[in-house]
Amino acid sequence: MLRVENLSVAYGGVNVIRGVSFELRPSLVALIGPNGSGKTTLLKAIAGMIPYSGEVFIGSTNLRSVHAGERTKYVTYIPSTISALPDMTIGDLLLSDNSADVALLERYVRIFGVENLLFRRIWEVSSGELERALLARGLARHAKVLLVDEPLSYTDVKYQLVIMRCLRRLANEGKVVIVASNQLNPLLNYVDHVLALKDGKLFINASLGAGVDEGKLSELYGVKMKVIVVNNTVDVVPVDETLSED
């Protein structure tokens, strides 16, 4: 349903994304990769928020043919940080989206536990609470493709699971949901597919059915990675070899 063909992005003469191509059915997808590998840039390009070369199709629609104001009906990018004017409240943030489905918004506000924060100023709430509010705002649109940038970075473990369950359900309902994050646990326990970026190129593009490839992950991050399975829960932990030297 989402097809990305030879997508490249250049910032000031430097190629940040270099010829990325992939095709995804409705599914929950992890987008992983080291800091600066281009995850956010790739998501923003797919969302049509920055200039790119190559093509992005959703279904049979080329996103270039969609009017800019209509794009969020197809694809929506959900950031995890903002730099708002002080005095804006969480309520202002949630209601600043006029394409939102208000009933849906109310549902997500409850699911993500932000209903008591509506009159708090943005700078007064914690990063995790802000992240949840941004997620509620972004999910309250009926976009076919959801691009979620670092939703797990600041949230506590309970809401990490709440968020992943919620995104899992959206994928089951027929959406393509791409989650950019390096929180491999819990991420890898919920996703169907893994995309990994390294230096702006697609390094891993694999369904998770075959299990997690330790070797590939080690190469991706440049440290030894070990897969541990406890009670059917997968965790991938970095192994610091200097710790076991003595």
Partner 1 sequence: MAQLSFGAVTLNPLHVLEDGLREILTATTGLARYRLERALAGVVVGASLALSGYLIQTTTRNPLGDPYLLGISSGALFAVVLTFALPASAITLFVVRPFVALAGGIIAYLLTLLIASKAGMTPTSIVLSGVAVGTFFYSASLFPQYFILRDIHKVFAWSMGSLVVVNISKPIAIAFALTVCTLYSCVSRNVLNALSISDDFVRDLGRDPSRERVILTAMAAILASFCVAYFGVIGFVGLASPHFARRLLGSGDARYIIPLSLVFGASMLSLTDVVAKTVFYPIEVPVNVIVSLVGAPTLAAIMVGMRRYAKG
Q: How far is the CB of 146 from partner 1 (least distance, A)?
A: 13
Cβ count within 10 A of residue 49: 16
Tell which positions 45-64 bind partner 1, by CB under 8 A: 47-49
Residues in the interface with partner 1 (CB under 8 A) total: 31
Binding flags for partner 1, 119-138, as an x/- string (CB under 8 A)? x--x----------------
CA 71, 135, 200: angle at the middle one, nearest 5? 65
Tell which positions 202-221 bind partner 1, by CB under 8 A: none
Q: Which is nearer to partner 1, 68 or 103 (CB)?
A: 68
Tell which positions 172-201 bind partner 1, by CB under 8 A: none
Contact call for residues 78 and 138 (beta carbons, < 8 A): yes
Q: How far is the CB of 101 from partner 1 (least distance, A)?
A: 15
Contact call for residues 20 and 7 (beta carbons, < 8 A): yes
Beta-bridged to residue 23, according to DSSP, are 3
- The H-or-E segment that residue 44 falls in is helix 39-46
Contact call for residues 213 and 50 (beta carbons, < 8 A): no
Q: How far is the CB of 111 from partner 1 (least distance, A)?
A: 21
Taking CB under 8 A as the binding criterion, the range among 73-81, 195-203, 205-213, 235-243 that sits at the site for partner 1 is 73-81
Strands (E), the chain: 2-11, 14-24, 28-32, 53-58, 61-62, 75-78, 145-149, 176-180, 193-198, 201-207, 224-230, 233-239
Among 13, 14, 69, 242, binds partner 1 (CB under 8 A): 69
Terminal Cα distance for the chain, rounded = 52
Helices (H), 140-211: 157-172, 184-190
Q: How far is the CB of 131 from partner 1 (least distance, A)?
A: 13
Tell which positions 77-106 bind partner 1, by CB under 8 A: 77, 79, 82-89, 91-93, 95-99
Q: Which is nearer to partner 1, 114 or 225 (CB)?
A: 114
Binding site for partner 1 (CB under 8 A): 44, 47-49, 67-72, 76-77, 79, 82-89, 91-93, 95-99, 119, 122
